[in-house]
A and B are shown apart, each in its own frame.
Chain A
Amino acid sequence: MGRYVIRRLLQMVPVFLGSTFLIFFMVYALGDPVAALFGDRAPDPATAARIRKDLYLDEPLWKQYLHYMGQIFQGDFGTAFNGDRVTELMRISFPITLRLTLVAVAIEIVVGIALGVFSGLRRGRAVDTSVLLLTLVVVSIPTFVSGYVLQFLLGVRWEWVSPSVSPEAPVNELLLPGVVLALTSLAYTTRLTRTSIAENTRADYLRTAVAKGLPRHRVITRHLLRNSLIPVVTFIGTDIGALMGGAIVTERIFNIHGVGYQLYQGILRQNSPTVVGFVTILVIVFLLANLLVDLLYAVLDPRIRYA
């Protein structure tokens, strides 16, 4: 098990370097951070040169990247061009997005698994077909459409919930944004659970469990669910990273000042240190989530543990 963890960690390193370098490349090599700093004005050549030197922008790209990574590992994500420390922006915004993500994941787990089990146990019947069609419809509606429609209906038309979120973003105000953020993943979770349940219902070992004379609830919980939920758990685990990165659209709709908001502002203003810093953290979160999922998988499935 220990060796497995180490091997997975080592495999993460090139992926981490590659992904962050790719982002770094896009921002610093394809864009021009200094020109962006001056907005529409023509930059004064002397000032521009000084800034370039300060930010190591006159060095080759790989040196800039190494320098940047070196600083990151010392906890220094640099300063946004407007003078804010990037770490300070992170300190404010990450808890909010984390909260939003957890609300979404909770909804995903409860509703997605319940719906999936419900329809998987009724495979081929009308309810199952309707649930499947419904999930496809949900998947097909982009988040920004469902977000605005739900915000309009529930927040404005019927006034059930507050249509926007206050700066502190308490959990009760995050319920609707959480639903919006979770919606697509929810549909996937439902489909995955349903398929997994439906496949395992036909498995030989389940027939054995019935032949052993176990009561139905025991057959379902101990044998069917225990096996069927393994892929679902891993999907949800990976999804945490993806949801945090994807929260940008939801945060924009509900005006939540989380990671997506900061990142969006950074991109609009071409604030390179903010963008690269936030994306780097998100990539790390994404990779760590994947690692945890792999470990969880090994815990849940002995065939992998002893492989």
Chain B
Amino acid sequence: MDLATGAARTLERGPDRGRTDLTGKPRSLWSDAGHDLIRNPVFVLSALVILFLVFIAVWPQSIAPGNPLACDLNKAQQGSQAGHPFGYDAQGCDVYTRTVHGARASITVGVCATAGAALLGSVLGGLAGFFGGWWDGLLSRIADVFFGIPLILGGLVFLSVVTSGAIWPVVGFIVLLGWPQISRIARGSVVTAKEHDYVQAARALGAGGTRILLRHILPNAIAPVIVVATIALGTYIALEATLSFLGVGLKPPTVSWGIDISSASTHIRNAPHTLLWPAGALSLTVLAFIMLGDAVRDALDPKLR
């Protein structure tokens, strides 16, 4: 279990309930949540950070026009200087340029892996929850199997045999081990939604399966999945960096914070700055996504405050 599942467990119980407060006005969940979010500085701040990160992931040249692979050993481990605010690393590469360009790998892996895991997990989990029966049992057992493998261990084993060092095997691996978490959440919230009176009522009125699924269950089941996926995005970015750090994730010439931190770690005594910049960027990115997910969760489930 982790942060995201914990969040989802509480969410499953009833993100769909409109709140009635002391003023007696019932409000809709989403409009209420939106209202809360815009007033929440944590949400606004993390959303801005994420927008900025996405921007530099797409157009890194706009703020760091240099070439991240152009290194000059003569400048190795030099400190901050004009035009090169973060100094140089052990290979004489510009740390600022590499840190900015490193965002692309992290964001790509994070977004693609989350999209994949969320899609696969919510479709499988949603169907299992909706139809139940043997399909549900089988899926739960399969999810258990993937849960039985610790993330980093599995990553080491899997990626050490798929040695390309490119982005797609890493994404593929994260989707492979990440979907069961989402599928459990999706399954749980579909099961909860299915039991609600209005769904039973729609069924009694003769609404078809597809219609019930699309009109009544999906809108309610989607909230916890979104929250969990947002938080998972942050942890996937951290996972990619960890795997790259261990030498099995992304590999040069791909520019990645994990790789840079790994190579800087051997020089931490002489040149701590070469570690701090990519490490800071990585932590800030993960933090932004986790905070965003947390803020959304709080807004959707205010009784947790």
Contact between A and B in the complex (any CB pair below 8 Å) = yes
Give the interface of A toward B (CB within 8 A): 14-16, 18-19, 22-23, 26-27, 30-31, 123-124, 133, 136-137, 139-145, 148-149, 151-152, 156, 188, 191-192, 195, 198-199, 235, 238, 241-242, 245-246, 248-249, 252-253, 263-264, 267-268, 270, 275, 279, 282-283, 286-287
Residue of A nearest to B291 (CB): A136
B283 x A15 contact (CB < 8 A) = no
Q: How far is the CA of A238 from the CA of B148 in the complex (A)?
A: 11
B157 x A275 contact (CB < 8 A) = yes
With A191-B6, A267-B160 known as contacts, the answer to whether A279 contacts B153 (CB < 8 A) is yes
Within 8 A of A (CB), among B224-269: 234, 238, 241-242, 245-248, 261-262, 265, 268-269
User: Which one of B79-87, B124-132, B139-147, B200-208 is at the A interface?
Assistant: B139-147
Question: In the complex, how many angstroms separate the beta carbon of A95 from the nearest chain B beta carbon?
Answer: 19
Chain B residues whose C-beta falls within 8 Å of the C-beta of A264 in the assembled complex? 156, 246
Tally inter-chain residue pairs, CB-CB below 8 A: 146
* Other-chain contact of A267, B1, B6, B151, B248 (Cβ < 8 Å): B248
Residue of A nearest to B153 (CB): A245
Question: In the complex, how many angstroms separate the beta carbon of A152 from the nearest chain B beta carbon?
Answer: 5
Q: How far is the CA of A279 from the CA of B287 in the complex (A)?
A: 31
A15 x B148 contact (CB < 8 A) = yes
Chain B residues whose C-beta falls within 8 Å of the C-beta of A16 in the assembled complex? 148
With A142-B286, A279-B153 known as contacts, the answer to whether A18 contacts B145 (CB < 8 A) is yes
Chain B residues whose C-beta falls within 8 Å of the C-beta of A241 in the assembled complex? 150
A188 x B279 contact (CB < 8 A) = no
Chain B residues whose C-beta falls within 8 Å of the C-beta of A23 in the assembled complex? 149, 154, 157
B269 x A156 contact (CB < 8 A) = yes
A267 x B156 contact (CB < 8 A) = yes
Which 8 residue pairs spanning A and B have beta carbons closest together?
A245-B150, A18-B145, A19-B148, A140-B287, A31-B161, A140-B286, A30-B161, A145-B279
Residue of B nearest to A187 (CB): B3
Chain A residues whose C-beta falls within 8 Å of the C-beta of B213 in the assembled complex? none
Chain B residues whose C-beta falls within 8 Å of the C-beta of A152 in the assembled complex? 268-269, 272, 275
* Other-chain contact of B234, A140, A143, A148 (Cβ < 8 Å): A140
* Other-chain contact of A149, B160, B279, B287 (Cβ < 8 Å): B279
6 contacts between A and B (CB under 8 A): A14-B144, A30-B158, A142-B238, A148-B279, A195-B10, A235-B1
B157 x A270 contact (CB < 8 A) = no
Chain A residues whose C-beta falls within 8 Å of the C-beta of B305 in the assembled complex? 123-124, 198
* Other-chain contact of B304, A198, A235, A253 (Cβ < 8 Å): A198
Question: Number of B residues contacting the other chain (C-beta, 8 Å)?
Answer: 52
Question: In the complex, how many angstroms separate the beta carbon of B110 from the nearest chain A beta carbon?
Answer: 13
B261 x A144 contact (CB < 8 A) = yes
The verdict on B185 contacting chain A, using a C-beta distance below 8 Å, is no
Q: How far is the CA of A286 from the CA of B6 in the complex (A)?
A: 19
With A22-B145, A145-B283, A191-B6 known as contacts, the answer to whether A27 contacts B161 (CB < 8 A) is yes
B157 x A141 contact (CB < 8 A) = no
With A15-B141, A123-B305, A140-B238 known as contacts, the answer to whether A282 contacts B150 (CB < 8 A) is yes
B283 x A140 contact (CB < 8 A) = yes
B287 x A136 contact (CB < 8 A) = yes
* Other-chain contact of A270, B3, B160, B238, B284 (Cβ < 8 Å): B160
Question: In the complex, how many angstroms separate the beta carbon of A302 from the nearest chain B beta carbon?
Answer: 21
A142 x B241 contact (CB < 8 A) = yes
Chain A residues whose C-beta falls within 8 Å of the C-beta of B248 in the assembled complex? 267
The verdict on B294 contacting chain A, using a C-beta distance below 8 Å, is yes
Question: In the complex, how many angstroms separate the beta carbon of A24 from the nearest chain B beta carbon?
Answer: 10
Q: How far is the CA of A199 from the CA of B302 in the complex (A)?
A: 12
The verdict on B162 contacting chain A, using a C-beta distance below 8 Å, is yes
Residue of A nearest to B285 (CB): A140
Chain A residues whose C-beta falls within 8 Å of the C-beta of B262 in the assembled complex? 144
Chain A residues whose C-beta falls within 8 Å of the C-beta of B287 in the assembled complex? 136-137, 140-141
Question: In the complex, how many angstroms separate the beta carbon of B19 from the nearest chain A beta carbon?
Answer: 15
Chain A residues whose C-beta falls within 8 Å of the C-beta of B290 in the assembled complex? 136, 139-140
A18 x B150 contact (CB < 8 A) = no
* Other-chain contact of A249, B146, B149, B152, B158 (Cβ < 8 Å): B152
Q: How far is the CA of A15 from the CA of B241 in the complex (A)?
A: 29
Chain B residues whose C-beta falls within 8 Å of the C-beta of A279 in the assembled complex? 149, 153, 157
Residue of A nearest to B244 (CB): A144
Q: How far is the CA of A279 from the CA of B149 in the complex (A)?
A: 8
Residue of B nearest to A252 (CB): B246
Q: How far is the CA of A30 from the CA of B169 in the complex (A)?
A: 13
Q: How far is the CA of A19 from the CA of B154 in the complex (A)?
A: 10
Question: In the complex, how many angstroms separate the beta carbon of B178 from the nearest chain A beta carbon?
Answer: 15
A148 x B265 contact (CB < 8 A) = yes
Chain B residues whose C-beta falls within 8 Å of the C-beta of A148 in the assembled complex? 261, 265, 268, 275, 279
The verdict on B282 contacting chain A, using a C-beta distance below 8 Å, is yes
* Other-chain contact of B148, A136, A143, A151, A286 (Cβ < 8 Å): A286
Chain B residues whose C-beta falls within 8 Å of the C-beta of A263 in the assembled complex? 153, 156
Residue of A nearest to B279 (CB): A145
Q: How far is the CA of A145 from the CA of B268 in the complex (A)?
A: 11
The verdict on B2 contacting chain A, using a C-beta distance below 8 Å, is yes
Residue of B nearest to A276 (CB): B157
B144 x A15 contact (CB < 8 A) = yes
In this complex, which of A19, A191, A238, A268 has the most chain B Cβ atoms within 10 angstroms of its Cβ? A19
With A14-B141, A286-B148 known as contacts, the answer to whether A30 contacts B283 (CB < 8 A) is no
